[in-house]
Each structure stands twice: as C-alpha cells, then as structure tokens.
Amino acid sequence: METTTEKDNILRGGQFLVRETACEDVFTPEDFSEEQKMMRDTVRDFIDREVWPNKERFEKKDYAFTEEIMRKAGELGLLSVAVPEEYGGMGMDFVSTMLVCDYISGATGSIATAFGAHTGIGTMPILLYGTEEQKKKYVPRLATGEWFGCYCLTEPGAGSDANSGKTKAVLSEDGKHYLISGQKMWISNAGFCDLMIVFARIEDDKYITGFIVEYDPENGITLGEEEHKLGIRASSTRQVFFNETKVPVENMLSERGNGFKIAMNALNIGRIKLAAACLDAQRRVISNSVKYANERVQFKTPIAQFGAIKAKLAEMAATAYAGESACYRAAKNIEDRIAIRKSEGNSHQEAELKGVEEYAIECSILKVAASEDVQNCTDEGIQIFGGMGFSEDTPMEAAWRDARISRIYEGTNEINRMLTVGMLVKKAMKGHVDLLTPAQNVADELMGIPSFDTPDYSDLFSEEKEMIGKLKKVFLMVAGSAVQKYGPQLEEHQQLLMAAADILIEIYMAESVILRTEKLAKKEGEDKAAAQIAMARLYLYKAVDIINLKGKEGIVSFAEGDEQRMMLMGLKRFTKYTNIPNVVALRNTIADKLIADNEYKF
C-alpha cells in the first residue's frame, strides 16, 4: 500500500481506502488553533446563554424565537463565517466553519436546521455558482442576517428523485423575465425567508435550472401553513407555491440546465456540515446522561455505578468521539484541497466547489454515520433517564425527536449509502482512485497460503492498524467481486450496495478514531490518553463485528460454491483479532472517566 508520507500527503477523496495514513497526517480536534478554540467557546457560550435556558420555547413551536436567535447569531457574525471577506463575511477556514456549525447545533435541532438551511443551502449556491453581481447584491445581506435564505428543491412528487420536479420556468415574451410556477414542499426557513434558491425546469430540459428569487408575496408566492412535525418543532417548514412568479433573467443561477449539479454540490457541503451539526447534540446528551446517572440513586447506588449503565455511557462516548475524529479529519482534507487549488490559480469559488466535490464520498459517509450515531445516543440517553427520559421535563425526548430528521434530509441515508459506493466505483472507473490493483492483490492473497507468524503487537495500536488494513481488504474483496460480477448493473443490487456502504463507513470512522488517538497518545502519553485509547479500541471492535456481518451478507448474495467458500474464509481471516480486546474493561475505563468528570470532556 502507498503511504501518505510519500510525495502528496493529502488524501484524495475516497483514497483512504487504498492508502495508509500516518497519524501525523490527520487533523484532529486536539489540533484546533487558539483562534478556533476561541470561536468554539464564543458559539458555545452564545448557545448556553440564549438557547439552552429557553429550550421549551422551541418545543412550543415558537418560530419567532428561532428567527430572533438567528438574528442574534447574525449580529455576532456567526452567519458569515463561511463567506469571503469581499462579500461581508469573515472568510474563515473550512475547519472553523465546521466548528461553528457543530457548536451552534447542539441545544436544539430547530436552530441547527435554521442555521444549516440559511448558511448552507440558502447561501452557498450563490457563493459557489453566482455571478459577481449576484454575489455582491445578495451575499452581504445573507451574511449579516439582514436577509434569510431558504432552498426550494423538494416537491410533492420529487423528493429523492430531485431532478424530476414539475416546477416550470417560462421565459416572458420580452425575454426579460422567467415566470416560475409550481409547488415546493418541506421548505426550511420558508416562514421568515427573504430570498429563495428555487429550482425549476425550462421547457423540456433534461435538467432543472437554479434561480435566485426574492420573496415577495405580491409576486405570486404563497406559503402553506407550518408543518406539524415530530421534532425540530420551531424550525419553520412550509410549502411554497409559485404562480407565475416574475424572476429577472439575470437571476438565473449559473447556466440553464445546471440546477441539478448546483443542487447536488450544495448538498455535499450540506452533508458534512450536517454531520458536524450532530456532534454537540451528542456531547450534550452524554453530559446530561452522566450527570443524571451520578445523581439518580436506585438500590442505594447511583445508577452510574451499574455495569449496564456504564456500558451505555461508554458506547455513546466512543461513537461521539469517533464522529468528531472523522468529521474534522475530512474537514481539514477539504480545507487543504481548497488551498492547493487556490495556489494553482483557481478562484475561491472554484477552489471551494472542487475541494468539497473531491470529498463527496466522505461527506456522505459522515452524514450517514453521524446522523445514526446521534439517534442511538439520544435513544440511550432516554433509557438512562428511565421514565424521566420519556417526559418533556427533561431534555432527552426533544433531543431524540430532533435527531430523527438528520437521517431524512440532505439526501436520505439510503440515498447517501448508495452514493458512497457508487461514487467510489465511478472514481475507480475514471482512474482517480486505483481500486483495481489493490482488489487484484486481495484476490491473489486469497489464493495464497496465509502467514501463520504472530507479529509483534507491542506498539500502541499495531494490531488495530493491521486490522484496519484487513478491513479495507474486506471492502475490496466484496465490492471488487461485485463490480466484476454485475458491472454497471450493480446499482440494481441495492441490498448489496447497502452492505458495502456500511463496510466503507465503518472503515472510515474506525480509521479516523484510531489515528486521532494514536496522535494524541504520542503527544500526551498513553496514560493520559487511556480513556481515548479505550474508545478507539471499542469503536474498532464494534466496527469489525458490523463489517463481518455485512461482508457475509454481501458475499452470499452473489457468490456460490468455491468462490463463496474462499471469500467467506477471507472474511474470517480479515476480521480476526489475535488478541480479542476485553470490551467490558474498555467500557469501564471510558465510563469511569465520564463518571469522574461528570461530563463528556475529551
């Protein structure tokens, strides 16, 4: 395998699968600069002061309060972090923009969604695809929160199949306007927006086109009632009806027929930011859970002392920690790729667009993993609170309801799972990532006699890193054979794709958490990093199990006879520990640290 210390030490998108990464080459939350830490603390203080004490207002559908908080965020400059200085923003690096998104989102999904819809899909399409005039006219207002943005893609008949929308854009006779007519639904921020990114079809074009539409009820725009939702209850979500809404031709975004591309690229950024937005919710749920568990006494014992509760706390923490590791690793890769493109002469716009697109696979991986982790975390949070967890009087049930949407929007997790594998296969076909050679090497290895030597595992994580290498072989074996067997028809075998996606997701998450912790342990020493080492090992242990299960499922779905037997033997070999970790001891180490700190403090 190539290593990242050779020549170009920044991974290309998807390349993590075939390249070994040195821990020094990953960015971790321990590497935040002083400036970044200050930004994080500012955002956290803002949320602790303005949002957390007023949580019940969000549950009572106080939409005006969401708007008020968004305005205050604007006054603090938090809506402008990703906007370049020439358009009135702070022009911060990508990692800092992730940090803001992370810490602004933890207290309530209503603010997380309003923030994401405005700064992400409501603003980014103009920044990434707008003309200079469009950017000068609209972005400064969006950056300060003078105006709020929303993004109108979904329609009653066009959800996951986003390009199938029926909304029409018809050129006026004088050629000066488009007249937009159609129905959009599930539009976040619709109730208080000033600007809409609207996707519509011109004539019978194959692809939709993007437009910037100023909200004006006098211009044929009508809003539906607020939707009554399971969670994110004070996030405004409405239908939007356009009836011959006049939009100047100069408000077309990019070129005619480019809308689907804009929509998809806006979603790439949206996905990694959504993953970040799932992190602080987990930290808060874990901290609240451990505080409650330390205080709640049953059988004359704080429930935190019960093994069953310790196991939950440990697993919640391990996944949150892995999520942080993977999110900031990918964020820095994106940031570095943007810098490389800029140094090669790309404009900021082009560099950002291509920089994020490069890591579209990682963006989808993170979206799926973090949205499912926050769901499990909040679910276990309720369980730790027992009956009180089910009550509106504790923060658990709202956190659980709010978490649910993240698996649905920004592309459902099913769509994102298929995308991860689909995009990787495409990259391989285009020659951007060489999967073929490593897949062939794995096939050769399967035919050969395995080594029975016991390697020296005395260095920290030496067995774990070997395991990561073997897990990558599982993916190459399963996906490589599936591509050979089905070719382009692979996309019709969705259950196989889902299994392959799960393998890929677990590899990225597990590798990220191991590398972060190795870097930390090298800096701080293994004793100081004991709980983190335990979290990394626990995460990997569970990942191995999932990969074993999904690998088996995939293999038997398409291979038979000798081929199946050989691949199942390979799977066994590639998921075998020499020293099976003592998972109970790992969980206790993690839980004891959480219990002593009385919070999630990593």
Ligand X SMILES: Cc1cc2nc3c(=O)[nH]c(=O)nc-3n(C[C@H](O)[C@H](O)[C@H](O)COP(=O)(O)OP(=O)(O)OC[C@H]3O[C@@H](n4cnc5c(N)ncnc54)[C@H](O)[C@@H]3O)c2cc1C
Report if residue 412 touches ligand X, rule: CB under 6 A. Answer: yes
- Min. distance of Cβ 266 from ligand X in angstroms? 10
CB atoms within 10 A of CB 189: 29
Residue of the chain from 21, 97, 134, 154 that contacts ligand X (CB under 6 A): 154
Residue with the shortest CB distance to ligand X:
159
Region of 345 (left: φ > 0; alpha: ψ -120 to 50; beta: rest) is: left
Residue type at position 277:
A
Distances (CA, A) of 41 to 51, 73, 79, 322, 475: 15, 14, 16, 21, 40
Known catalytic residues are 410
76 or 415, CB closer to ligand X? 415
Residue of the chain from 147, 409, 475, 539 that contacts ligand X (CB under 6 A): 409
Residue of the chain from 117, 320, 334, 591 that contacts ligand X (CB under 6 A): 117
Region from 35-43, 186-194, 239-247, 541-549 binding ligand X, contact rule CB under 6 A: 186-194
Report if residue 188 touches ligand X, rule: CB under 6 A. Answer: yes
Tokens in use for 194? 């000033």
Phi and psi angles of residue 363, each rounded to the nearest 5 degrees, phi first: -60, -45
Residue of the chain from 114, 240, 405, 521 that contacts ligand X (CB under 6 A): 405
* Cα distance between residue 378 and residue 397, in whole Å: 8
Interaction residues for ligand X, span 27-86 (CB under 6 A): none
Report if residue 541 touches ligand X, rule: CB under 6 A. Answer: no
* Cα distance between residue 428 and residue 9, in whole Å: 20
Give the burial class of 495: count Cβ atoms within 10 A of its Cβ; 0-12 exposed, 13-18 middle, 19 or more buried: exposed
Report if residue 415 touches ligand X, rule: CB under 6 A. Answer: yes
Going by C-alpha positions, the residue among 313, 261, 266, 262 that lies closest to residue 287 is 313
Report if residue 20 touches ligand X, rule: CB under 6 A. Answer: no
Residue of the chain from 148, 151, 242, 321 that contacts ligand X (CB under 6 A): 151
With contact defined as beta carbons under 8 Å apart, do 500 and 421 qualify? yes
Report if residue 376 touches ligand X, rule: CB under 6 A. Answer: no
Interaction residues for ligand X, span 550-569 (CB under 6 A): none
With contact defined as beta carbons under 8 Å apart, do 151 and 125 qualify? yes
29 or 116, CB closer to ligand X? 116
330 or 497, CB closer to ligand X? 497
Give the burial class of 19: count Cβ atoms within 10 A of its Cβ; 0-12 exposed, 13-18 middle, 19 or more buried: buried
Report if residue 186 touches ligand X, rule: CB under 6 A. Answer: yes
Region from 52-60, 281-289, 350-358, 409-417 binding ligand X, contact rule CB under 6 A: 409-417
240 or 396, CB closer to ligand X? 240
111 or 531, CB closer to ligand X? 111
Residue of the chain from 170, 408, 460, 568 that contacts ligand X (CB under 6 A): 408
240 or 316, CB closer to ligand X? 240
Distances (CA, A) of 315 to 155, 211, 290, 370, 374: 39, 45, 12, 14, 12
Interaction residues for ligand X, span 254-293 (CB under 6 A): none
Going by C-alpha positions, the residue among 188, 195, 194, 276 that lies closest to residue 235 is 188
- Min. distance of Cβ 293 from ligand X in angstroms? 32
232 or 571, CB closer to ligand X? 232
Interaction residues for ligand X, span 195-234 (CB under 6 A): 229, 232
With contact defined as beta carbons under 8 Å apart, do 89 and 78 qualify? no
With contact defined as beta carbons under 8 Å apart, do 223 and 190 qualify? yes
Residues at the interface with ligand X (CB under 6 A): 117, 150-154, 159-160, 186-188, 229, 232, 237, 405, 408-409, 412, 414-415, 494
